[in-house]
């Protein structure tokens, strides 16, 4: 699946990244329906996509078949999302999940350094990602633009995520 998601993500990479979002990982999913933010053909159980688009674009309304157009708009705005690890961790135990994120930390910080220029705003999504990556990214000279974690946008946290993410994007406009 890693090759599939890398190709899907790369299709929507902006020429210049203005805001970088770092989420946890793509969810473990069956091969026939790769559940992934950048999979324009997958629209079920897509909390991250819907919530992030709503935070980024006040005029967003989810309509089946329009995901590619919204992902292209996200790209044109200079927004890009990567994962802390490309290995799905949603079915791992908490200990295995922490270990996977710990292993991915150094290579991911290096990758981020190749993706963005100094000062580019970074938004970390999910408590464990904020806790694991915030300080190492700041120590490496990166611009994490929020002081507390953004919740994952599911299980009733969508409104909180949208509000916090919208605030981050307003802050980023002053940083770019």
Domains of the chain, by residue range, sit at: 2-175
> DSSP per residue over 89-119, as a string?
-TTS-HHHHHHHHHHHHHHHHHHHHHHS-TT
Of 19, 56, 45, which is closest to residue 142 (Cα–Cα)? 19
> Are residues 133 and 32 in contact, defined by beta-carbon separation less than 8 angstroms?
no
CATH fold of 2-175, please? Uracil-DNA Glycosylase, subunit E (3.40.470)
pLDDT on residue 2: 44
For the chain, list residues with pLDDT below 70: 1-3, 29-34, 175-176
pLDDT on residue 176: 46
> Are residues 2 and 113 in contact, defined by beta-carbon separation less than 8 angstroms?
no
pLDDT on residue 3: 44
């Amino acid at each position: 699946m890693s090759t599939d998601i890398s190709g899907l993500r790369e299709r929507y990479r902006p020429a210049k990244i203005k805001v970088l979002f770092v989420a946890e990982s793509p969810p473990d999913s069956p091969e026939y329906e790769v559940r992934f933010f950048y999979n324009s053909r997958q629209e079920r159980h897509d909390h991250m996509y819907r919530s992030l688009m709503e935070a980024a674009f006040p005029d967003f309304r989810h309509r089946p078949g329009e995901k590619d157009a919204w992902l292209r708009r996200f790209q044109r705005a200079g927004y890009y999302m990567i994962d802390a690890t490309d290995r799905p961790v949603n079915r791992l135990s908490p200990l295995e999940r922490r270990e996977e994120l710990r292993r991915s930390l150094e290579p991911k910080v290096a990758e981020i350094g190749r993706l963005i220029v100094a000062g580019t705003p970074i938004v970390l999504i999910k408590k464990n990602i904020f806790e694991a990556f915030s300080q190492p990214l700041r120590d490496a000279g990166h611009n994490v633009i929020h002081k507390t974690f953004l919740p994952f946008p599911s299980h009733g946290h969508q409104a909180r995520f949208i509000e916090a993410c919208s605030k981050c994007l307003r802050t980023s406009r002053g940083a770019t």
